[in-house]
Every structure is written in C-alpha cells, then in structure tokens.
Amino acid sequence: ALRYHSGWEKAWASPEPKKRYDVIVVGAGGHGLATAYYLGKVHGIKNVAIIEKGWLGGGNTGRNTTIIRSNYLQDPSAAIYEKARSLYEGLSQDLNYNVMFSPRGLLMLAQSEHEMRGYKRTVYANNLQNVETRWIEPKEVKKLVPILNIAGPRYPVLGALLQEKGGTARHDAVAWGYARACSDMGMDLLQNTEVTGVRTEGGRVVGVDTSRGSIDCGKLAIVVAGHSSVLAGMAGFRLPIESMALQAWVSEPIKPTIDVVVMANLVHGYMSQSDKGELVIGGGTDGFNNYSQRGSWHHVEETTRALIETFPVISRLKMLRQWGGIVDMTGDRSPILSKTPVDGIFVNCGWGTGGFKAIPGSGFAMAELVAKGYSPLAAEFGLHRFKEGQFIDESVAAGVAH
Ligand code: FAD
Ligand code: PYC
C-alpha cells in the first residue's frame, strides 16, 4: 500500500500459448491445477499448459462452502478423500502459500433414527479404513456447538458423527497456491482461453482448438466439472454426468459464534463461520439439470427456514449475498478419474457437490494416471464401472440433497 499498490510481483505469468505441449489440462479449477502441479512435482512432466476459459479458480473451486472431510463409506472413497485431507494438512508448507487450512472439526448431525444408524455404520467403516471419526451423544454435540437447539420438537439432535480432523480451507487460496507453483515450474497458465474443439487422428488426441488458436498436445486431461459433457462431446464420446446448479449464501458478519462445521443433512443444510464472521450456508442442488451459474430465492428461503429450528440464531440474521456453481453429478455420487475411448484423453470429473475437499488427492491420482496410465487411487473410479455395474454408492456420504 505504501507503494500505492504499484510494483507488485505477479504471482503467475500470463504467457502466449506455445505450439505444442506434452500435456494440456483443460480447466484451471482446483482439480486441473492440482493435476498439473503433481505432474510436475512427482512425475517431472513440466511442458504443460492449463487452459481456462475464464479466470483461474472462477468455477466451483471459488464458489464452494469449503468443507473438508473424508468420512465416506466405501473403501475407494475413503482412500482418495483421506489422501486429500492428509495432503491438505501440509499444503501451505508444500506450496509455500497459506491456504488457511483450518481443521476445526466436522459434525454430521443425526436427526432421525435412520440417520443415526447410518452414521454409526459410517463410523464403523471409517475405523476400518484408518479414517478417524467417532459417534458422539447429544450432550457432547451441545457442548461443541452451544448455539444448537438439540431438543427439536420436529428434528431433535440424536447424536452426531464427528471428524475432528475435518474443517475448512480458503478456497481461492488453494487455486492460487497451486497456480503459482505451476507457473514457477515453467507451466503455462492460459486464462481467458476457451477450448472450442478437440482434434484427434486415428483414434488418438493430437490437440485442441481454442479461442486463441490451435494447440497440439501429446495427452489431454479434461477437468472441467459442470462442462465435462460439453468437452467429451467435442472429443466424440459421452459421459454419465448430469449438470445442475448448487448454491450457497452468507449472512451478515457476526462475532465468533460457531467454531466447527455442522452438516444437518436431514433438513438439507450446512453451516460454518468464515474468518470474516459471516455464517456460510448451503443447501441442495436444483431439482432439474441446468447450466445456470447462479443462486435462486427459493433455495435460500427453504434452506434457511429448514435450518432455523436447529440454529435459532439465524432467524434474526440478514442474508448478505448468494451465488451458484454448476456441479457435475454421477448416478452413484462418486467421481470419474479415467482413461476414455480416445487414446491420450483422460477425464477427471463427477465430483459433484463434494470435490473441494478432494482437490489434492484427486490431483495426485490424476497426475499418476496421466503420467503412467494407471493410479491405484483412481483405479476403481474408471468409466468401466458404469458398464460393469461396479458402482461406488456415496449418495448418503455426499450429504447434500440431489
Ligand atoms: P471447477 O473449479 O469448476 O473448474 C473447472 C474449470 O473449467 C472452470 O474454471 C471452467 O471455467 C473451466 N472450463 C469449462 N469449460 C471450459 C472450456 N471449454 N475451456 C476452458 N476452460 C473451461 N465441495 C466440498 O468438498 N465441500 C464443500 O463445502 C462444497 N460446497 C460447494 C458449494 C457450492 C455452492 C458448489 C457449487 C460446490 C461445492 N462443492 C463443495 C463442490 C466443489 O466446489 C467442486 O466439486 C470442486 O470445486 C470442483 O473443482 P473442479 O476443479 O473440478 O471444477
Ligand atoms: O461435500 O461436504 C461436502 C459438502 C458440504 C457442502 C457442500 N458439499
């Protein structure tokens, strides 16, 4: 500020596109950037471009409610989400960029007998998967979150699944940290550059067409969340993905009120408090497929109304702003990290309503898949599972209503 905001060093370069890259990653969200980062860091592949039609982190990565946890049910999910959570622990040091990881604890409230049984089952599964979660009784829930009304009458809190190592991180810092590290390795970040076509020859990818001209590549990683089907269409194959809007909103800032993250999945709401003091609140997806990257009044009203019994304080708060992102849903609510019918093209998508928490683990696995053609962490998330019926059902663990 003393220099009148002049002379700041740019965090990453904005170069002109080269004619050819060994790997092109489409999509500079968290997953695309992390893929590029681990390609360079772990596999030494640095002739890489990350192509982004807007600004980096401007998709779902910069629009989510930043909840990080790894309390999924199935073994392949526990493995990749727990890898991600553990990488988050050291991410600020690894990137030398403060991603403000805050393992403040994550609660999933049980507000029906059915949920209680479900979360207890998840705790048993997590204990076998080396994911630390535990079941806590209503008294301990109330101690952790004094503003909670646990008495009901309609939705009493019967207990909760607690993941003490869950929490939040600053979403855009995650994108910015990875972006700066990629740029420092000599990779090209091409913002405001839309991929408009995918070129193939003899069943193999040779390059992409973009709003800044054609660029050749050896391999192509499509990591574009809600636009995955659009990119797959350009390459000539289909994906089992539906896109729809998911939205979130924040209240006016208030004094520190709640220092854990709470998900109340029965009433389709979740809440945490940001460092600025705003209560960060979200609900379920739109009930129909769409590409509209914005919020809508009925969701704000319905979710806030539903949360009021459990969090009476919010009845007296003004809501400040709302926004939305386009999430990429699979039928089993698990992601896709996969080779595709086109040689040299890989996809990473289907993270739907829950991929922020997965960014480091997903990037790590995707980089391995792209570099070596196989990644143990990604193996069960291939497209083959939709043909073979090997679904990884996480519709409950996803937590968010769809
Ligand atoms: P994105 O960040 O969306 O990046 C994809 C990029 O691809 C975009 O920047 C887009 O512009 C670019 N792109 C698309 N088409 C093209 C093209 N033709 N050419 C070039 N670039 C293109 N997850 C959690 O774990 N915890 C949460 O609390 C949570 N809350 C959420 C709340 C909301 C409201 C939303 C919307 C999502 C939430 N999620 C949450 C989900 C999470 O945000 C996503 O799963 C994750 O951010 C996806 O990251 P990504 O890198 O795959 O996609
Ligand atoms: O996946 O934990 C999650 C989540 C919370 C809010 C939106 N997604």
* Residue of 356, 362, 366, 400 with the most ligand 1 atoms within 8 Å of its CB, for mutation: 356
126 three-state secondary structure: helix
Ligand 1, atom 14, lies closest to the CA of 224
* Residue of 60, 67, 262, 402 with the most ligand 2 atoms within 8 Å of its CB, for mutation: 67
In this prediction the pTM is 0.97
Of 192, 117, 128, give the one whose Cα is nearest residue 158: 117
Structure tokens at 317: 């708060």
Ligand 1 atom at shortest distance from the alpha carbon of 326: 36
Contacts of 135 (CB under 8 A, 6+ apart): 119, 120, 123, 159, 160, 161, 162
Of 234, 239, 194, 235, give the one whose Cα is nearest residue 214: 194
Phi, psi (rounded to 5 degrees) for 15: -80, 170
ipTM over 0.90 threshold: yes
Ramachandran area for residue 213 (φ above 0: left; ψ -120 to 50: alpha; else beta): left
d(CA 158, ligand 1 centre) in Å? 33
Tokens 């507000």 sit at which residue?
Answer: 111
**Interaxial angle between packed helices 30-43 and 171-184, expressed in degrees from 0 to 180 and rounded to the nearest 10:** 40
What pLDDT sits at residue 398? 86
In 140-225 the beta strands, taken as DSSP E runs, fall at 159-163, 167-168, 188-190, 195-201, 204-210, 213-222
Ligand 1 atom at shortest distance from the alpha carbon of 62: 2
Ligand 2, atom 1, lies closest to the CA of 354
Structure tokens at 218: 């050896």
CA distances from 91 to 23, 49, 56, 63, 360 (A): 24, 22, 19, 20, 8
What pLDDT sits at residue 92? 98
Percentage helix, strand, coil for the chain under 3-state DSSP, each rounded to 5: 30, 25, 40
Tokens 């980062």 sit at which residue?
Answer: 37
CA pair distance 244, 203, nearest whole angstrom: 31
Ligand 1, atom 44, lies closest to the CA of 355
d(CA 332, ligand 2 centre) in Å? 16
Contacts of 154 (CB under 8 A, 6+ apart): 309
Give residue ranges with CB within 6 A of ligand 1: 26-32, 51-54, 58-61, 63-67, 194-195, 223-225, 227, 246-248, 282, 325, 327, 351, 353-357
Ligand 2, atom 4, lies closest to the CA of 354
Contact call for residues 307 and 264 (beta carbons, < 8 A): yes
Other CB atoms within 10 Å distance of the CB of residue 170: 19
Ligand 1, atom 6, lies closest to the CA of 27
Ligand 1 atom at shortest distance from the alpha carbon of 194: 19
CA pair distance 228, 171, nearest whole angstrom: 21
Nearest ligand, CA of residue 36? 1
Give residue ranges with CB within 6 A of ligand 2: 65, 67, 69, 270, 282, 353-354, 399-400
Ligand 1, atom 45, lies closest to the CA of 355
Tokens 């003393």 sit at which residue?
Answer: 2
First-to-last alpha carbon distance for the chain, in angstroms, is: 45
Ligand 1 atom at shortest distance from the alpha carbon of 223: 52
d(CA 148, ligand 1 centre) in Å? 31
Structure tokens at 208: 């992409």
What pLDDT sits at residue 1? 59
Query: How would you write the pLDDT of the chain (402 residues) with one tens digit per residue?
Result: 567 778 888 999 999 999 999 999 999 999 999 999 999 999 999 999 999 999 999 999 999 999 999 999 999 999 999 999 999 999 999 999 999 999 999 999 999 999 999 999 999 999 999 999 999 999 999 999 999 999 988 999 999 999 999 999 999 999 999 999 999 999 999 999 999 999 999 999 999 999 999 999 999 999 999 999 999 999 999 999 999 999 999 999 999 999 999 999 998 899 999 999 999 999 889 889 999 998 888 888 888 888 999 999 999 999 999 999 999 999 999 999 999 999 999 999 999 999 999 999 999 999 999 999 999 999 999 999 999 999 999 998 887 776
Nearest ligand, CA of residue 72? 2
DSSP letter at 238? -
138 three-state secondary structure: helix
Please list the residues that pair with 288 across neighbouring strands.
none
Range 7-17 burial, b when 16+ CB lie within 10 A, else e: eeeeebeeeeb
Nearest ligand, CA of residue 69? 2
